[in-house]
């Protein structure tokens, strides 16, 4: 009985893990139109009217673009967790970017404790 509970707990824990930044950049087509939750450092930002295009970098400097409402845009170098839909093509202002996240929610996140351990 205890083994069954352990197996079920591990299955739920593994299944609840969303894609990581490395998976999104290596195989983007696998995650198109899916809800994603990514943690990264805001390395660059460009404002386009009421939207901001931010570049998120993980601890290994892998990067991805995300569109955020200007009122929710985090400052540069801040670690954040973004939740949104990963899309193949995204319009930001009058520009089109590819393989980006249409962000629905941004919240502050702590920096990794051991960034280059894994």
Query: 29: helix, coil or strand?
Result: helix
Tens digit of pLDDT at every position of the chain (118 positions): 666 555 555 544 444 467 888 888 899 999 999 999 999 999 999 999 999 999 999 988 999 999 999 999 999 999 999 999 999 999 998 889 999 999 999 999 998 887 666 5
Domains and CATH numbers, the chain: 20-108 (2.40.50.140)
Of 97, 39, 98, 108, give the one whose Cα is nearest residue 72: 108
Exposed/middle/buried for residue 85 (C-beta within 10 Å: 0-12, 13-18, 19+):
middle
Q: CA 79, CA 40: separation in Å to the nearest integer?
A: 6
In this prediction the pTM is 0.81
Q: CA 49, CA 82: separation in Å to the nearest integer?
A: 20
């Amino acid at each position: 009985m205890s083994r069954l509970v352990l197996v079920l707990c591990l299955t739920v824990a593994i299944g609840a893990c969303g894609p990581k930044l490395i998976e999104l950049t290596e195989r983007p087509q696998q995650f198109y139109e899916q809800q994603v939750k990514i943690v990264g450092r805001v390395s660059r930002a460009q404002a386009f009217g009421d939207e901001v295009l931010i570049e998120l970098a993980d601890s290994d400097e892998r990067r991805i673009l995300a569109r955020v409402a200007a009122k929710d845009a985090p400052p540069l170098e801040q670690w954040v967790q973004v939740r949104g839909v990963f899309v193949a093509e995204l319009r930001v202002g009058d520009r089109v970017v590819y393989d980006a996240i249409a962000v629905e929610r941004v919240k502050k996140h702590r920096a990794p404790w051991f960034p280059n351990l894994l």
